[in-house]
Chains A and B, each alone.
Chain A
Amino acid sequence: MKSYTDINQSKKLAEILPLESADMHYATWTILDGDFIVSPNQGSTIEDLQEDYGNQIIPCWSLAALLSLLPKLYEFENDPDDGGCQPNLCKGWDNNQWHIVYRPSIYITEWYNDPIDAAFEMVVWLKENGKI
């Protein structure tokens, strides 16, 4: 199970989201067991880390951080009677996979083994459609 976005997802999110929304970072100057080290952003600032390590810092998002980006959405944005809907992360017991749904008429992600992949797809869709 993935605890945080992989390196390709992280690079994509770094292009479209504020870096301040990340709660972890890849330190690409160090490799352990074939992977870059990932550390929680405990107390540091983006500028402090960039001053020390420059472009070797790649921000990274845990599932908790990605979920915190999902807004309440309105299907009909000009309709005052539309109460809007909340994002739901759901598990399918038949396939043992996860997806995220608002209303089916708004957007549903594909099913994924890792909930973080569903959250990644939803965040990218929201950003690319001007919802966040």
Chain B
Amino acid sequence: MVKRKWKDMKSYTDIEQSKKLAEILPIESADMYYHNRVDIPDNYPLPIEWKRGLSLLAQEIPCWTLSPLLDILPEINGANLKFERVKAEDGYNGYYYHIEYEDKILIPYCKNPIDACVEMILKLNEEKLL
């Protein structure tokens, strides 16, 4: 019997992104977290759990799915916030994701929506617009 795999996609921020975001966003805005227990071997993926409003221990890393990341994006001078899924026309067999504030604040095209949102949050933070 052929076993069907679930969708292989990025559903939440990876560890590097999570660490960066943890430095600039309120921990309460995260909806998940990575366990970072001492008994997990090196190179083994950290288990992930829903935060459920709990406060985190120092060794735990907050993590964000797409919904709370979008919720963080602020209004900027009333500019329309647009999150676009664009069919690639450059030979890449897939879609790109793109966020913009009415052509005023743009990010590069990304291959998944989590990366696009993280890019925009980091850019807004750089420009002190968060």
* Chain A residues with a Cβ under 8 A of chain B: 1-4, 19-25, 32-33, 38, 40-42, 44-48, 59, 62-65, 67-68, 70-72, 84, 86-91, 93, 98, 114-116
17 contacts between A and B (CB under 8 A): A3-B31, A3-B67, A20-B4, A20-B5, A41-B7, A42-B48, A62-B12, A63-B66, A64-B10, A67-B85, A68-B9, A71-B87, A86-B86, A87-B84, A89-B70, A90-B82, A116-B67
Contacts of A84 in B (CB 8 A): 87
- The answer for the CA separation of A62 and B128 in the assembled complex, in Å, is 29
Return chain B residues, CB-CB under 8 Å to A114.
67
Q: Tally B residues with Cβ within 8 Å of A.
A: 38
* B73 contacts the other chain (CB 8 A): yes
Task: List the count of A-B residue pairs having beta carbons below 8 Å apart.
Answer: 117
Among residues of A, the one whose C-beta sits closest to the C-beta of B97 is A67
Q: Which residue of chain B has its CB nearest to the CB of A4?
A: B65
* A109 CB to nearest chain B CB (Å): 13
Chain B contact residues, CB within 8 Å of chain A: 1, 3-7, 9-12, 31-32, 45, 48, 50, 52, 65-68, 70-71, 73, 75, 78, 80-87, 95, 97, 112-114
SS class, residues of chain A in contact with chain B: mixed
If over half of B's interface residues share one DSSP class (helix, strand or loop), that class is named, otherwise mixed; here it is mixed
Interchain CB contact under 8 A, B66 and A64 = yes
* Bound Cα distance from A104 to B26, whole angstroms: 37
CA gap between A116 and B45 in the complex, in Å:
27
Question: Are B68 and A46 in contact (CB-based, < 8 A)?
Answer: no
- Provided the pairs A19-B4, A45-B3, A86-B87 are in contact, do residues A63 and B70 lie with their beta carbons within 8 angstroms? yes
For A96, the closest partner residue in chain B by CB is B75
Please name the residue on chain A nearest to B52 by beta carbon. A33
Q: How far is the CB of A116 from chain B (nearest CB, A)?
A: 6
Contact B7 A23 (CB under 8 A): yes
Report the separation of the CA atoms of residues A59 and B9 in the bound assembly, to the nearest whole angstrom: 15
Tell me the minimal C-beta distance from B8 to chain A in angstroms.
Answer: 9
- B1 adjacent to A40 (CB under 8 Å): no
Check if A90 sits within 8 Å of B9, measured CB to CB: no
Closest residue on chain A to residue B51 by CB atoms: A3
Q: Are A38 and B67 in contact (CB under 8 A)?
A: no
Given contacts A1-B71, A91-B73, contact A64 B6 (CB under 8 A): no
B84 touches A64 (CB 8 A): no
Q: How far is the CB of B116 from chain A (nearest CB, A)?
A: 10
